[in-house]
Amino acid sequence: MVDEDRHPALLRTPGRYGLPNERILPGSASDYVTNQDDQGWLLVVTLEDDLVYFGPGPVSVARSPAPF
């Protein structure tokens, strides 16, 4: 019996050697918005306007394929 979704959101940002960095975020992926500012930097914010990431892209927020 599953009471809650145990698949967290993952923030994927550029890493070394072409492999992305991944950071677990609270909530679901739909709780986050990705925007690009005028100078090409990417912003990831929560629906409450809290800044989560500001830096180069590509950046994505996705549901983890594995439960935690």
- Across the chain, which distance is largest between two alpha carbons, in Å? 48
Spans of all domains in the chain? 9-63
Query: What distance lies between CA 27 and its chain's CA centroid?
Result: 10
Q: How many CB atoms lie within 10 A of CB 30?
A: 10
Give the C-alpha separation, 10 to 23, whole Å.
5
Task: Give start and end residues of each alpha helix (H) in the chain.
Answer: none
- What local confidence, expressed as pLDDT, does residue 3 receive? 46
| pLDDT mean values, one per 10 residues, the chain (68 residues) | 71 88 92 87 88 90 86
Q: How many CB atoms lie within 10 A of CB 64?
A: 16
- What local confidence, expressed as pLDDT, does residue 39 receive? 80
